[in-house]
Chain A
Amino acid sequence: MSRIGVFVCHCGENISRTVDVEQVAKAAGEIPGVAYSCDYKYMCSDPGQTLLKKAVAEHKLDGVLVAACSPRMHEKTFRKAAEAAGLNPYLCEMANIREHCSWVHEDRGMATAKAKDIVKLMVERVRKGKSLAPITVPVTKRALVIGGGIAGIQAALDIADAGHKVVLVERDPSIGGHMAQLSETFPTLDCSQCIMTPKMVDVANHPNITLFTYSEIEKVEGYIGNFQVTVKHKARSVDEKKCTGCGVCMTKCPKKKIPNEFDQGHGMRPAIYVPFPQAVPNTPVIDRENCTMFQSGKCGVCAKVCGPGAVDYEQKDTFTVEDVGAIVVATGFKLYTIDRKPEGSPIQGYGEFGYGTIPDIIDGMTFERLASASGPTGGKILRPSDGKEPKQVVFIQCVGSRAREKGISYCSKVCCMYTAKHTMLYHHKVHDGQAYVFFMDARTPGKGYDEFWRRAVEEEEAVYIRGMVSRMYQRGDKIVVMGSDIQVGTQVEIEADLVVLATAVQPQDGADLLAQKLGISYDKYNFYSEAHAKLKPVECATAGIYLAGACQGPKDIPDTVSQASAAAAKVMTLFAKDQLERDPVVAKVNEKYCVGCFACKKVCAYGAIEEKEIRDRQGNLVKKVAYVNPGVCGGCGTCQATCPSKSIELDGYTDEQIMAMIEAL
């Protein structure tokens, strides 16, 4: 390359304050092969770009260097401008004389000298640069959504409504997640199931959605636009195609006293069951651990009573491979295990609260079920031990959350609000009852949230005590709650009939294993990590995988739904094109010299390197070499640094370019 143009930017005063830009431009002009150089106030502005385009034409430039800010800021801008002027965009590079120079130095003379050096070596990189063509990869316009809570449901419906096929995979026998369990929802107190079930039915009926419940992700292969996902369909023991959902099997099953997970163990269900009456799909599953037929081989009642003959005790797990182009992860949360320290976990339990031993100490989700019209008490607040209506209820916030010594330092975000909601629901149902809340502070950011909380305190007569509870124990049929009121500075003791713990929101069990299959990252609690906390809150660092809902961090329903729709929008953006364009800064193998040691394959964090066989014309294996899948390569350059014989190189960062840069110094 012999006709390079160098454009030195003042960046207002950001650069010119400490760097003598005129001198830098002048020095650049003297480098052999530089045909044109100038300085300008704002290169990124419209006139600045026009200047660049004009110079390319006038001086017949065959390479461009813009000495300005970080390429992360404006590389795209200038490459576009160069392309508009008829150059290959990859023949345009940036020299960073702002972040790497003017911003970090004070001495004008030295900063100017450094800027000249940076320009000098970048000119060499441009000189050795090559034209590159963007890489295109085909996109399979079919999405996978993992998890059928409100997040997964919303994302699936949005993508399907946009006209794309969606596969929704849910681990449980029904979709719905935690929202299906809620009674009424803050901040409007509308009935959760009333707003949830229509969406669940929409999922089941949508022509674009394939729903797999009672299924899990077994294996994930491929990359953005081209994933191959193996789904494991756990044996339901009921043929979904034959079952009409009449439910006779459930009424006839002799094993009826199994604690129902949906009611947090406070209601009962048979061994063949649907989790709740509005379940989608309405096809029962057999809980093999509790089914007499599976345990002792005797019974078979459900098979006998089933009209269409759908019950199948021999059913096995099956597997399907789904080709999809994008994945939305929406696996939600679970609640903190309060009674004990889970094995091998840094999370400490709350043994001192007597949860698990005192029956009338329950968690928030159980309270939701007690308050729900479809719950085990038909919506009456009755305590588990003796079914009496509690007249004094103590709510404790932040159980597990914001307690570094207990293993979790984050705030669970929804507990302040749902506790306020619980006091209201309680007050509406037990008019002569009194609710007490132990709290650290009330966190109510959100539209209508503070008003909601104030209503609980000011109109619904909940007594809020700022302080923590130290101990609880059973005395007669009461629970003695001992705590402190730090505002008054005294100890308090309340005799409660029922205690409700607002326990921390944690990622689902197995969240880390799923992340490993997907190749996405997660934090120390196992919440999935977004690519950028502010600017890429729904994307994973792994291309083509997006996050929605509480699996990324505690969230209420409005936030969950917003994020789910955002993730769906990202998927639609990806699906808007038939081909995916990627930056061609990817590694290439020199097959002549590669000796197939596969050191590169071992170090590639993106899994981009495969083994390729080289055969002669007779089909005999000559050797094995490395092959980089350009759709997967992230352009990190680790392989290049690792290859002993330098047989693999990153386009745009070739050894030749780097060596030329070093030599220029």
Chain B
Amino acid sequence: MNAKASKTHVTCIEPAYYEAITEAIRKEAVQILKDETVVGVVGYLPGRRKGTASPALVTTAEEAGKLIFSPACVNNLSVYLTKAKKGVLKKGKVGIVAKGCDMRALAGLITESQLQREELFIIGVVCPGVYGFGAERTGTLTEANIARKCRECSVHLPDGADVAAGTHTELADLTPEEAEEMARIEAMPQAERWAFWKEHFSRCIRCMACRQVCPFCYCEQCLCDKNRPQAVESSPRPAGNMAWHLVRAMHLAGRCGGCAECERVCPMDIPLNLLNRRMAKELKELYDFEAGLNPVEKGPLNQYKEDDDQSFIK
């Protein structure tokens, strides 16, 4: 669904750019509600506090006129279609505002039979980036307040959307902090790397916010909540925490599109997206596969090919 955009040296994105996207979204959303193409649109409304945004399902043209897009629109809205607002799909086609990273989730959910392309009207956002967690919300996106994932985003253009909101802007070539951090961890001796993750995981309080926000954790009963038999200890103790994080990493491998929502919502600042990215790198190296670029029939972990890498069998 997505394509890569080129980057040049521009350091900040002015509010005007977001306002233009907002206009385009409103126009489109009002239109499709009026002509009854869709029964509702999942998008963002202004939050109660200034400079914030909150996800919403709008069902009238009037409400649709209030939709916004700003650097505060961090949430991956695809999660609403498989969890919170899932019922709306029963009524008919639904519109959804999607950034490039959200589109990757949509493609993955289509692959996994959770959504069907025909039941969606995708208003794709030509997204220059959103705020990082705890960053200063000035209305202007700068190198200082942009999210880590956005520094290395490769899916600015919402290819495969029904309509695109926004025009392609030239983007800054920022230092890839996350990639650098990943390289740093990879370079550690094994024991040190183990200690690094052990320390992080030991702080997990098992609030399960990461799971709740993840578009792919749509299981009706998570393996980690099963108690007959219990595979993962549910109280926040080191062994169970480790097991939970390994389960999460493995279950999301080949599926996670890198929206980094899990990391954003984690109250304990556990760098979950580093793990996600590491798994994604593995998939890319082993199978030349990147999750969510297109809906596919079968992901590489769900199929066997004779030339699959077998070097791990010792």
Contact surface of A with B, Cβ cutoff 8 Å? 592-599, 602-603, 605, 620, 624, 642, 644-647, 655-656, 659-660
Contacts and interface: CB of A to CB of B under 8 A. Distances in A.
Interface of B: 90, 112-114, 218-223, 226, 228-231, 251, 297-298, 302-304
B226 A646 contact: yes
Given A602-B298, A602-B302, A603-B302, A656 B229 contact: yes
B221 A645 contact: yes
Nearest to A622: B90
Contacts of A599: 112, 302
Contact of A597 (B113, B223, B230, B304): B113
- A592, A595, A660 — which one has the most chain B CB atoms within 10 A of its CB? A595
Contacts of A647: 220-221
A399 B222 CA distance: 62
A645 B221 CA distance: 6
A596 B229 CA distance: 22
Contact of B303 (A597, A603, A644, A655): A603
Nearest to A658: B229
A593 B303 contact: no
Contact of A659 (B90, B112, B231, B297): B231
Nearest to A645: B219
A620 B231 CA distance: 35
A642 B302 contact: yes
A624 B221 contact: no
Given A603-B303, A656-B228, A656-B229, A645 B222 contact: yes
Given A598-B112, A624-B113, A660-B229, A593 B302 contact: no
B220 A595 contact: yes
Contacts, number: 50
Nearest to B251: A644
A17 to B, nearest CB: 31
A660 B229 CA distance: 8
Q: What 6 A-B pairs come out closest when comparing CB atoms?
A: A645-B219, A659-B229, A602-B302, A593-B221, A597-B112, A656-B229
Contact of A593 (B114, B219, B228): B219
Contacts of A592: 220
A592 B221 CA distance: 9
A595 B302 CA distance: 17
Interface majority SS (helix, strand, loop, mixed), chain B: loop
Contacts of B222: 645
Contact of A644 (B113, B223, B230, B298): B223
A312 B90 CA distance: 54
Interface majority SS (helix, strand, loop, mixed), chain A: loop
A591 to B, nearest CB: 10
A556 B219 CA distance: 58
A659 B229 CA distance: 7
Given A597-B112, A598-B112, 14 more contacts: A593-B219, A593-B220, A593-B221, A595-B218, A595-B220, A596-B113, A596-B114, A597-B113, A602-B303, A642-B302, A646-B223, A646-B231, A659-B229, A659-B230
Contacts of A593: 219-221
Nearest to A621: B90
A644 B219 contact: yes
A655 to B, nearest CB: 5
A603 B112 CA distance: 13
Nearest to A599: B302
A395 to B, nearest CB: 40
A656 B231 CA distance: 9
12 contacts: A592-B220, A595-B114, A595-B218, A596-B114, A597-B112, A597-B218, A598-B113, A602-B297, A603-B303, A624-B113, A646-B226, A659-B229
Contacts of B251: 644
A644 B229 CA distance: 15
Contacts of A620: 90
A606 to B, nearest CB: 13
A27 B112 CA distance: 49
Given A597-B113, A598-B112, A645 B302 contact: no
A597 B114 contact: yes
Contacts of A644: 219, 223, 251
A475 to B, nearest CB: 49
B229 A655 contact: yes
Contact of B219 (A595, A605, A624, A659): A595
Contacts of B226: 646
Contacts of B221: 593, 645, 647
A594 B251 CA distance: 15
A624 B113 CA distance: 9
Nearest to A644: B251
A659 B226 CA distance: 12
A620 B89 CA distance: 13
Contacts of A642: 302
Contacts of B218: 595, 597
B233 to A, nearest CB: 12
Contacts of A595: 114, 218-220
Contacts of B219: 593, 595, 644-645
Contacts of A605: 304
Contacts of B113: 596-598, 624
- B113, B218, B230 — which one has the most chain A CB atoms within 10 A of its CB? B113
B223 to A, nearest CB: 5
